[in-house]
Chain A
Amino acid sequence: MYELLKNLGIWLTSGSEWAGSDGIAHRLAEHLQYSLLATLIATAIGLPLGLLIGHTGRGAFLAINLASFGRALPTVGLVVLVFLAGGLSMLPVYVALVALAVPAIVTNTYAGMTAVDPDVRDAARGQGMRGHQVLFQVELPLALPLIMTGLRLALIQVVATATIAAYVSFGGLGRYVFDGLAQRDLVQVLGGAVLVAAVAVVLDLGLSGLQRFLFRHRTA
């Protein structure tokens, strides 16, 4: 165990491992690119959908069931399926990652919207606010904490799962996990896993910092 950790330390800190097109720096950039782009696409799909369902109250059934559907969908199977259907491209990976992230975002957005006090909503309407004004000036700001929780959850899952890009022969930190697995090189696998976990934790802390910045004027 000690030997393993020592080798891991050497692997993580040696300059030669970080440089070049299959170096850690490059793989890290790839992993970030996959994760952030997939989360961005998922947000672009899931956020409006969640807001619409929460605002109109229609499709609540969809929002609730989408969550368990998203959790039940086996990501590996989805990647392989899109891969067999669409051939070798990054598309399967993005499809799988977006499919993973959308449900978490939709359900948390919806949950945030339903948690808004109906009296506050009625008061906004009573003051003559129109539907879109109520949505953007009242409901959205109040629902934001839960929306952010959904985004953080989605991002963590996407970062951890982006590892599978390497399964269909693309880059990212999953390369170390899969190559290490093939070569029975435990240090490499461990290194890949540690880096993925570090990326997820750092991004999560970043989003929670952003969240705190956005709500700095709130006392509660």
Chain B
Amino acid sequence: MTIDWSWISGHTDDLTTLTLSHLQAALTAVLLGLMISLPLAVLAHRVRPLRGFLLGLSNVLFTIPSIAVFVLLLPVSGLTRTTTVIGLTIYTLVVLLRNTVEGLDSVPARTKEAARAMGTRPLRTLLTVEFPLALPVIMAGVRIATVMSISLVSVATYIGDGGLGQLFTDGFQRNFPTPVIVGVVLTLLLAVVADALLVALQYVLTPWKRRRA
């Protein structure tokens, strides 16, 4: 299997467009996933009976094949970017919800009691004590969700909007490996860069963890 380098140099504009569109879909999904899962996680953390239900529901959603999710959304949102983003968001929820709940669980009860004893109100405790302390575990979830979304965008190529995944369909239909290899390599690169940036972000957001380094 040889790589046709001239095809790559002749298609740099297309590749840039596809990469950007790929990244946009994945990142939008993670942001939406966070906006949905953070309040749900607080709910699951505080209201015990809801916990099993919410986590179980997200696990079941995870088992539905991504292709099917995209296709099933077609009657709702059509052959659009919206369908891709909704489908990806559903997948990020599993990881984000579980990790955020685990992160909130990991905050020592004593710390919360101390905050209460100092007269801090529940919402403020949540925002200034619980979330910051849960951040390492939440960020681990964000990293997994981001990398997973970046890899999953290509599945949306079956509904005509797969970012770099379109290179797979293209290569498959023309029996031409170069675009497929380029697509796989660019997807992996995007994932590695995004993951490294998130590690850097976590470093910035958790200054108290740095002391020993």
Contact = CB atoms under 8 A, between A and B. Distances in A.
Contacts of B207: none
A10 interface: no
Contacts of A75: 151, 155
Given A72-B192, A73-B188, A159-B63, A193 B144 contact: no
A181 B67 CA distance: 10
Interface stretch (A21-29, A76-84, A117-125, A138-146): A76-84
Given A78-B184, A186-B72, A190-B72, A71 B65 contact: no
A76 B154 contact: yes
B168 A80 contact: yes
Interface in B165-194: 165, 167-168, 171-172, 175-177, 180-181, 183-184, 187-188, 191-192
A68 B1 CA distance: 26
A136 interface: no
B69 interface: yes
Nearest to A180: B71
Interface string B130-161: 00000000000001100110111011011000
Contact of A81 (B59, B150, B157, B177): B177
Contact of A69 (B63, B144, B165, B188): B188
Given A156-B62, A181-B71, A193-B65, A71 B184 contact: no
Q: In terms of DSSP, what is the predominant structure of the interface of chain A?
A: helix
Contacts of A201: 60, 63
Given A74-B168, A177-B65, A193-B64, A85 B151 contact: no
A72 B72 contact: no
Q: In terms of DSSP, what is the predominant structure of the interface of chain B?
A: helix
B1 A177 contact: no
A75 B60 CA distance: 21
B1 A77 contact: no
Interface in A152-198: 156, 159-161, 163-164, 174, 177-178, 180-181, 186, 189-190, 192-193, 196-197
Interface of A: 68-69, 71-78, 80-81, 83-85, 156, 159-161, 163-164, 174, 177-178, 180-181, 186, 189-190, 192-193, 196-197, 200-201, 204
Q: Closest 10 interchain pairs by CB?
A: A193-B68, A72-B191, A200-B63, A163-B65, A77-B184, A74-B154, A197-B63, A80-B172, A71-B147, A160-B65
